[in-house]
Structure 1
Amino acid sequence: MVAIDWRAAGYDFEHGASRARLMREYLRRAALWVAELRKDGPRPFFGAGDPDHWPFFDIAARVDPRVRAEEAIAARLDAFLSEHASGFLVGTVCRAALHWASLSDESLARYPHLPDPFEPLVLLLERGGGFSIENGFIDFVAHRVRLTRWEDHVTAPPIAFLTRDALDALDALDAE
């Protein structure tokens, strides 16, 4: 998370297209995880059906509730976020990604067919800091992504490449 340039407000315009596409990819991946984890039983799934919790929630807690990030690392993240991050929502995302990174291969062995849900979000943040939710949209100033139910994202096409060059090319197309 320290690679995030929180001061880069201009990236809302420069990297807006790629950041919006990365958010769509996160929504798709998170929806795949919700669909898979709902198969485990009737236990409520982090309020994923609740608009107050979808789409940003702690997937790692459902995969293996025994696994949490080390307390010292979580405290360092919280201190860093309180000084640099743009709001509660970004902090929620960063904490969930930290817990995800703490999962072992053993914890994830039951789900070898599912992608890392947080990879697109971390890339999104590295390409220009935060975002907000307003009026049913995830807002990146010059670009927006409609916030819909998780079920709406399960069949979305995946992003082809998450490389810096591919994301820069997407932004270049948008600038034309």
Structure 2
Amino acid sequence: MKKIHAEPLVDRISSINWQEEELSFVHGPSRAKLMREYLRRAALWVQELEKKNLIPAIGAGQPEGWPFIDIAYRIDSSVSPSAELAARLYDFLSEHASAPLTGRICRFALSWASLPDGVLSKFPDLPDPFEPLIILFERGGGFWIENGFIDFVDYRVRLSCWQEHLDRQPLSSLDTYYLNSLDRNQ
């Protein structure tokens, strides 16, 4: 598993133009597919963490906070990003992307990026859960959740229990060229 590290992640998030609304329309199809890929990856992580008793199920078998979970905390609750990087991310988000859900996701991604590589060697077959979301943000900012759907204006992704995402086909690529082709072909 290739993992983005903390400082490059904060640099990427800080370079996103969160106010570029036109991108959210242009990249609507790829952003919806990136969300589906995140949900698939998050479901794989929830399944694995449940096996290792690192994530308790609550309510109808749903982990607390599904689908946006602090996976790094469940793996190693002692790991936290450097104070400098956390402050830099917080300052940027509070000025440019103040939606609470966006901030929470970015903080979870930073915690993930702060995990030592060795910790993740216990999970060699699982993909980075947050990379699809970071690319989704880079392709047009945030989204909102309403009436059981993750909404991207013209595109929606059904928000269902994690088990329903386990057997989904993985997105073929996270490459910009491929994602652009998804947008052109819709």
Q: Smaller-chain TM-score range?
A: over 0.9
Asked whether the equivalents of residues 31 and 150 of structure 1 are also in contact (C-alpha less than 8 Å), the reply is yes
Tell me the secondary structure at the aligned position of residue 138 of structure 1: strand
Q: Among 62, 69, 75, which residue is 1:49 paired with? A: 62
Tell me the secondary structure at the aligned position of residue 145 of structure 2: strand
Q: Among 58, 67, 74, which residue is 1:62 paired with? A: 74
Instruction: Say how many residue pairs are matched.
Output: 173
Give the AA of the match of 1:11: L
Asked whether the equivalents of residues 90 and 130 of structure 1 are also in contact (C-alpha less than 8 Å), the reply is yes
Tell me which residue corresponds to 1:94: 106
1:8 has 2:30 as partner:
no
Tell me the secondary structure at the aligned position of residue 133 of structure 1: strand
Tell me which residue corresponds to 2:181: 169
Q: Among 19, 27, 33, which residue is 2:39 paired with? A: 27
Superposed CA deviations along residues 39-78 of structure 1, whole A, max 9, x for unmatched, are 112752598815x711011000011111111112111111
Asked whether the equivalents of residues 18 and 97 of structure 2 are also in contact (C-alpha less than 8 Å), the reply is yes
Provide the aligned C-alpha RMSD in A.
1.7
Asked whether the equivalents of residues 34 and 45 of structure 1 are also in contact (C-alpha less than 8 Å), the reply is no
User: TM-score if structure 1 supplies the norm length?
Assistant: 0.93
Tell me the secondary structure at the aligned position of residue 14 of structure 2: coil
Tell me which residue corresponds to 1:76: 88
Q: CA separation in 2, counterparts of 1:168 and 1:161?
A: 11
Q: 1:61 to 1:143 in 2, by over 3 A?
A: same
Q: Among 136, 158, 161, which residue is 2:170 paired with? A: 158
Q: 1:103 to 1:43 in 2, by over 3 A?
A: closer
Which runs of at least 4 in structure 1 moved beyond 2 Å after TM superposition?
45-48
User: TM-score if structure 2 supplies the norm length?
Assistant: 0.88
Give the unaligned 5+ runs of structure 1. Answer: none
Asked whether the equivalents of residues 46 and 57 of structure 1 are also in contact (C-alpha less than 8 Å), the reply is no
Q: CA separation in 2, counterparts of 1:37 and 1:101?
A: 18
Give the AA of the match of 1:49: Q
Higher mean alpha-carbon deviation, 35-44 vs 66-75, is at 35-44
Asked whether the equivalents of residues 46 and 58 of structure 1 are also in contact (C-alpha less than 8 Å), the reply is no
Give the unaligned 5+ runs of structure 2. Answer: 1-12
Q: CA separation in 2, counterparts of 1:172 and 1:42?
A: 41
Give the AA of the match of 2:133: L
Give the AA of the match of 1:170: L
Q: CA separation in 2, counterparts of 1:53 and 1:43?
A: 11
Tell me the secondary structure at the aligned position of residue 10 of structure 1: helix
1:112 has 2:124 as partner:
yes
Give the AA of the match of 2:122: R
